[in-house]
Structure 1
Amino acid sequence: MTLATFRQSRWFSLVWIIPALIVLAGVVVAIAIWLRSLPGVQSFLTTYPGRSELPAGTPVGFPAWLAWQHFLNAFFILFVIRSGWLIRTTKRPAAYWTRNNTGLLRTKGEPQRISIHQWFHISVDSLWVLNGILFYVLIFVTGQWARIVPTSWDIFPNALSAGIQYASLNWPLEMGWVNYNALQVLAYFVTVFIAAPLAVITGLRMTPGLAARWKPLERVYPVQLARLIHFPVMLYFVLFIVVHVFLVLTTGALNNLNHMYAVRDDQSWWGFGIFVLSLVVMAVAWVAAKPSILAMLAGLSGKVRR
């Protein structure tokens, strides 16, 4: 690739974006360190250490079903994002799928033809939603909801405190087995109860075939609004995943991975081993999810044409 070609590519913007982000991060860290030197801020951090009290009776630790839920959610969201990105960027799909029988995906009596990427996106989305519904039921039945739902207004000053601690590189004490810090609670709450429902609601509004069934709501909920919201929500999930993985690996990787994958609170290597195995499964599925394999799977429920 020549310099002129590189300047015209989408990657050229990274030449200045990455250094700009590094400089911005340095400025934020410097300001946070300066703030922590102020007596008033030190008093604030003492009053609000970054963690709110949990309601009485909140479970300690993580049950096995939550570890499975975590893996399945990570697996499905990986391919939800991948297929969504392919829908947005692929000009000529490798194949198109048409449903065998009549049903939801139809327009004016005829089955709706969609790209193989749209079929994959809808299929994986359906699994992700089913897994999410099961997650909602289980967290409320078992009381795990109290760990990710704010129950006191002091969550906000504590979140600010945790943010200052992160930004100053003097990070909050990690106690994930017992209680997340306030910034984590807010991030999990937004992800589970705001971003995920938004992704589903806007995705349904844009689904080929289903979109026509929303016509009576066009004035109050136009498809353009759904498109305007759906893509930023995807970007939010990408950002959340990047930050989440970064913090898991930098705030006590063995302990955190044991919490999420081995449901134990120790420094053993079990969680790390299961985590690596889950990455292998994801990598194999990523390689296998090529158009020829997708077309074969899609052919089980409809007609696939190139």
Structure 2
Amino acid sequence: MTSTNVARPRWRTLALAIPGAIVAVAVLIVLARWLRELPAVADFVMTHPGHVALPESAPVGIPAWLAWQHFFNAFFIVLIVRSGWSVRTTQRPAAHWTRNNSGLIRTKRPPKRISLDLWFHQTLDVLWIVNGAIFIVMLFTTGHWMRIVPTSWEVFPNALSAGLQYASLDWPLENGWVNYNSLQVLTYFVTVFVAAPLAIISGLRMSAAWPASTARLNRLYPIELARAVHFPVMLYFVLFLIAHITLVFATGALRNLNHMYAARDGASWLGFWIFAASVVVMVVAWVAARPLILRPLAQLMGTVSR
């Protein structure tokens, strides 16, 4: 069976899932709007408007380094998802890569031969991890961690309130330049401090860098567990991106894009044009991620064979 034939049932399943998802969203909106009319729920939303005040020492605004980090993170995640999907669905890779057992990296074991798609995926993983490490260091040295790490238990009822407001299409008040709402705080916290580490740990277990000769370690952390974690985490990132982009445009596109890409507050078009340029870069990279382009890059670090 060819890879095309394997892919067809997946696309059919996706095509059938889309109408079901639309119906589910419509039901959720109707239910949320009905709940908002109940006196007890209305009082709950009034008491918990959807956000918690930050500590007085919390920084205000989005620095330029965070705007750059946002672009690189989005760039790497998009290509990681693309290359990961290719690894998962390609039956006969166009080329394979073998690391040169020389230079800075030398092992007693013969280098493992992997597909070119997997090489690309793992290379992107390393770049994404480096970018994430820089982000974490900057986050905690500048105090911006207070914007995405809960500092009060009140974040939980306020997150529930914000979710209800989103579901009813009566958006919670937005002022991301100063403070994210509680649902955003919890989502960003889970993405940065839970989903990202799970992706790294499970990806490392599945990579050629994992020490295969350590039988005890392999029993403690079997590869089947890593596979069971890695793919759902990828789906989480895809759903996060869809929800994130949708809400960015639905809750004040120009101001949100200025925060995220231009590191400034206001409703000018600067952030939009920077965002548009970043999308062009990602589309070009997506299209260019083919064996013709990847092969000479991979040959810089190893041997590529058909």
TM-score, normalised with respect to structure 1: 0.94
Mapped contact 1:105–1:209 kept (Cα < 8 A): no
Give the gaps of 5 or more residues in structure 2. none
Quote the residue 1:72 is aligned against: 72
In structure 2, distance between residues paired with 1:98 and 1:35: 58
Provide structure 1 residue ranges, at least 5 long, that are not aligned to the other structure.
none
2:186 corresponds in structure 1 to 186
How far, CA to CA, are the matches of 2:215 and 2:54 in structure 1?
44
Structure 2 counterparts to residues 15-94 of structure 1, below 5 A: 15-94=15-94
Q: Distance in 2 between matches of 1:237 and 1:104?
A: 33
* 3-state SS, counterpart of residue 226 of structure 2: helix
How many angstroms apart in 2 are the aligned matches of 1:173 and 1:262?
22
Query: Is this contact kept in 1: 2:54–2:146, CA < 8 A?
Result: yes
By how many angstroms is 1:90 displaced?
0.5
TM-score scaled by length of structure 2: 0.94
CA distance in 1, matches of 2:189, 2:272: 26
The aligned amino acid for 2:159 is A
Separation (CA, whole Å) in 2 of partners of 1:211 and 1:88: 22
SS in 1 for 2:264: coil
Q: Which amino acid aligns with 1:39?
A: P
Cα distance, 1:246–1:104 mapped onto 2, change above 3 Å: farther
For residue 226 of structure 1, what is the aligned residue in structure 2? 226
SS in 2 for 1:97: strand
Alignment of 1:106-185 (within 5 A): 109-185=109-185
- Taking a change above 3 Å as real, the CA distance of residues 288 and 12 of structure 1, as seen in their structure-2 partners, is closer
Quote the offset at 1:111 in angstroms. Answer: 1.1
Counterpart of 2:294 in structure 1: which amino acid?
L
Structure 1 runs (4+) deviating above 3 angstroms are 102-108
CA distance in 2, matches of 1:293, 1:15: 32
Whole-Å separation in 2 of the counterparts to 1:15 and 1:218: 39
**Residue in 1 that maps onto 2:260:** 260
- In 1, the alpha carbon distance for the partners of 2:236 and 2:86 equals 17
The 1:65–1:214 alpha-carbon spacing in structure 2 relative to 1, beyond 3 Å, is: farther
| CA shift for structure 1 position 14 | 4.0
Paired with 1:248 and 1:50, the residues of 2 have a C-alpha distance of: 17
1:273-288 aligned at under 5 Å gives the runs: 273-288=273-288
Match of 1:200 in 2: 200
Contact 2:33/2:168 (8 A) holds in 1? yes
Measure how far apart 1:75 and its partner are. Answer: 0.6
After superposition, the C-alpha distances for 1:234-276 in whole angstroms (9 at most, x for unaligned) are: 0000000010000001100000000011111111100001001
Q: Secondary structure at the match of 1:230?
A: helix
RMSD value, Cα:
1.8
The verdict on how the C-alpha distance between 1:303 and 1:74 changes in structure 2, with shifts beyond 3 A counting, is same
Give SS of 1:212's match.
coil
